[in-house]
Amino acid sequence: EEKKSLNFLEQIIEEDLANGLPKEKLRFRFPPEPNGYLHIGHAASICLNFGLGLRYNAPVNLRFDDTNPAKEEQEYVDSIQHDVQWLGFNWDKVLYSSDYFQQLYDWAIEFIKTGKAYVDNQTSEQMAAQKGTPTEPGTDSPNRNRTIEENMELFLKMRNGEFEEGSHVLRAKIDMKHTNMHMRDPIMYRILKRHHHRTGDKWCIYPMYDWTHGESDYIEQISHSICTLEFKSHRDLYDWYLDQVVDADKLRPKQREFARRNLSYTVMSKRKLLQLVEEKIVTGWDDPRMPTISGLRRRGYSPESIRNFSEIAGIAKRDNVTDVALLEYCIKDHLNKTAPRVMAVLNPVKLVITNYPEGKEEFLDASYNDYEDGFGSRAIPFSREIYIEQEDFKEDANKKFFRLSLGREVRLKNAYIIKGESVVKDADGNVTEIHCTYDEDSLSGSGTEASKRKVKGTLHWVSIKHAIKAEVRVYDRLFTDEAPDSYKDKDFKEFLNPDSLKIIEAFVEPSLKTAKVLDRFQFQRLGYFCVDKDSTAEKLVFNRTVPLRDSWAK
Ligand code: ATP
Ligand code: MG
Ligand code: MG
What pLDDT was estimated at residue 72?
A: 87
Cα separation of 511 and 390, whole Å? Answer: 23
Assess whether 270 carries a catalytic annotation.
yes
Q: Is 268 annotated as a binding residue?
A: yes
Nearest to 222 by CA among 91, 341, 377, 348: 91
Cα separation of 441 and 452, whole Å? Answer: 10
Residuewise pLDDT in 10s, the chain (554 residues): 444 589 999 999 999 999 999 999 999 999 999 999 999 999 999 999 999 999 999 999 999 999 999 888 999 999 999 999 999 999 999 999 999 999 999 999 999 999 999 999 999 999 999 999 999 999 999 999 999 999 999 999 999 999 999 999 999 999 999 999 999 999 999 999 999 999 999 999 999 999 999 999 999 999 999 999 999 999 999 999 999 999 999 999 999 999 999 999 999 999 999 999 999 999 999 999 999 999 999 999 999 999 999 999 999 999 999 999 999 999 999 999 999 999 999 999 999 999 999 999 999 999 999 999 999 999 999 999 999 999 999 998 888 899 999 999 999 999 999 999 999 999 999 999 999 999 999 999 999 999 999 998 999 999 999 999 999 999 999 999 999 999 999 999 999 999 999 999 999 999 999 999 999 999 999 999 999 999 999 999 999 999 998 654 33
Q: Give backbone dihedrals phi and psi of 25, rounded to 5 degrees, phi first.
A: -90, -5
Query: How far, in Å, are 296, 299, 541 from residue 504 at the CA level?
Result: 20, 16, 10
CATH fold match for the domains 270-338+470-508+515-547 and 342-466: no
> Mind listing the pLDDT tens digit for each residue in 279-293?
999 999 999 999 999
Confirm or reject: Cβ of 42 under 6 Å from ligand 1: yes
Which atom of ligand 1 lies closest to the CA of 226? 18
Tell the residue nearest (CA) to atom 26 of ligand 1. 41
Assess whether 75 carries a catalytic annotation.
no
Confirm or reject: Cβ of 67 under 6 Å from ligand 1: no
Where does 114-208 have alpha helices with state H? 124-130, 148-159
- Probe target for ligand 1 pocket from 7, 29, 35, 42, with the most ligand atoms within 8 Å of CB: 42
Q: What is the largest CA-CA distance in the chain?
A: 102
Q: Which of 171, 260, 297, 341 is catalytic?
A: 260
Nearest to 434 by CA among 374, 341, 351: 351
> Mind listing the pLDDT tens digit for each residue in 404-427?
999 999 999 999 999 999 999 999
Confirm or reject: Cβ of 228 under 6 Å from ligand 1: yes
- Probe target for ligand 1 pocket from 7, 35, 38, 45, with the most ligand atoms within 8 Å of CB: 45
Under 8 Å between Cβ of 214 and 255: yes
Q: Is 33 annotated as a binding residue?
A: yes
Confirm or reject: Cβ of 269 under 6 Å from ligand 1: yes
Contacts of 120 (CB under 8 A, 6+ apart): 127, 141, 143, 144, 168, 169, 170, 171, 185
Beta-bridge partners for 254: 224
Q: Does domain 342-466 have CATH number 3.30.465.10?
A: no
Contacts of 416 (CB under 8 A, 6+ apart): 353, 382, 438, 439, 440, 442, 443, 444
Q: Is 269 annotated as a binding residue?
A: yes
Neighbours of 467 (CB within 10 A): 22
Confirm or reject: Cβ of 233 under 6 Å from ligand 1: no
Cα separation of 82 and 91, whole Å? Answer: 12
Q: Per-domain residue ranges for the chain?
A: 2-263, 270-338+470-508+515-547, 342-466
Q: Does domain 2-263 have CATH number 3.30.565.10?
A: no
Cα separation of 430 and 349, whole Å? Answer: 10
Query: How far, in Å, are 329, 471, 523, 548, 549 from residue 335 at the CA level?
Result: 10, 21, 11, 10, 13
428: which DSSP letter?
A: T
Beta-bridge partners for 510: none
* Residues 78, 83, 88, 91, CA torsion sign: negative
Tell the residue nearest (CA) to atom 16 of ligand 1. 42
Does this model's pTM top 0.90?
yes
Nearest to 172 by CA among 163, 180, 162: 180
Q: Residue 56 in 3-state DSSP?
A: helix
Cα separation of 173 and 450, whole Å? Answer: 89
Please state which CATH number belongs to domain 270-338+470-508+515-547: 1.10.1160.10
Under 8 Å between Cβ of 463 and 348: no
